Amino acid sequence: MATPQKQAAIAELTDKFRESGAAVLTEYRGLTVAQLKELRNSLRANGTYSVVKNTLTDIAAKEAGVKAFEGQLSGPSAIAFITGDPVEAAKSLRDFAKAHPLLVIKGGYLEGKSLSAEEITKLADLESREVLLAKLAGAMKASISQAAYLFAAPLSKAARTVDALRAKVESEGPSGAAGSQEEQDTTADAAAEATADVAEGGDAS
């Protein structure tokens, strides 16, 4: 039976797994205390970085329903428990590993899905949530402006075209109930022009 200290450690790790939307398993062999502190600071905004005992972590992962680390818990292990933006956290780990090759990214998971080391690197190449939200907001603003233009400008252009059509018909005068073929063709052409103007969203000036 595990000692109270080990039980408490397992419970703490289990809670971290359950509270994290993502986690990344690393091997930190050879890194100094100062370097580990640097890595923790780089991850602070999006999660925590904890040195863990493999046996206790294996038990905690199973209790939390995490299968991503099965067979990978060996050597000096540390886990980045990510509660913030997983893309930013992945960037921090990738950049630190580039600067300090002794950090080995072994694998992880995101929203329950297992990730390989290569997939974590690809995750780091994505745009962050903040960047995507900014782009979305910009696109929405542009769409609203464009929608307002499309509702206003084509109607104005179509109204001017209809007025011109009416003036032309009135100036030429009546020539029978249905009008001559030439007048009917002129009317059809003008109507087609009005329809095309609406479809193309012509300038309202």
Total number of domains constituting the chain: 2
Query: Measured between alpha carbons, how far is 35 from 2 in angstroms, rounded to an integer?
Result: 32
CATH number at residue 120: 3.30.70.1730
Confidence of residue 196 (pLDDT cuts 50, 70, 90): very low
- pTM, two decimals, is 0.62
Q: Domain ends where: 126, 148, 169?
A: 126
End of a domain among 126, 152, 176? 126
Identify the domain boundary among 75, 91, 126.
Answer: 126
* Secondary structure (3-state) at 127: coil
The answer to whether the CB of 43 falls within 8 A of the CB of 80 is yes
Give the pLDDT confidence score for residue 205 in this predicted structure.
Answer: 45
- For 2-32, how does the pLDDT look when each residue is reduced to its tens digit (9 = 90+)? 798 999 999 999 999 999 999 999 999 999 9
Per the CB < 8 A criterion, the answer to whether 129 and 45 are in contact is no
Name the DSSP class of 21. Answer: S
Are residue 104 and residue 11 in the same domain, yes or no?
A: yes
In this structure, the answer to whether residues 137 and 196 fall within a common structural domain is yes
Domain around 161: 132-200
54-95 pLDDT tens trace: 999 999 999 999 999 999 999 999 999 999 999 999 999 999
What confidence tens digit (pLDDT) does each residue in 105-164 have? Answer: 999 999 889 999 999 999 998 865 555 556 566 666 666 665 555 455 555 554 555 565
| The predicted structure's pLDDT at residue 126 | 86
3-class state of residue 176 by DSSP: coil
Residue 61 forms part of a structural domain: yes
